[in-house]
Amino acid sequence: MNITTTTGHDEAQEILDALRQIQDNPDLRAESKTNPESVVNRLGLSGIARHAVAFAITAALVAPSIGHVVHTDSFWGS
């Protein structure tokens, strides 16, 4: 496998563009919560970009629930 910096930059840009589309589009945001697979399909993602965006969607879904489990304010505030 021959990876060049241009390829890496293109993939990074594709990931960023997809995440911006999801962030800017309320319909995509809502759909990503219930069916992330269809969102990455809709955006036409494949390869590394597909996995990275799927991971980001999953992380965004899990992150809010972490805040309810870890109460750092009470620890640092006391």
Q: Where are the domains of the chain?
A: 7-77
51 and 41 in contact (C-beta within 8 Å)?
no
> What's the pLDDT band for 8 if we cut at 50, 70, 90?
confident
> What's residue 31's pLDDT?
94
> What's residue 73's pLDDT?
54
First to last CA, the chain: 54
**pTM, full prediction:** 0.70
pLDDT reading at 57 higher than 80: yes
Percent of the chain with pLDDT over 70: 72
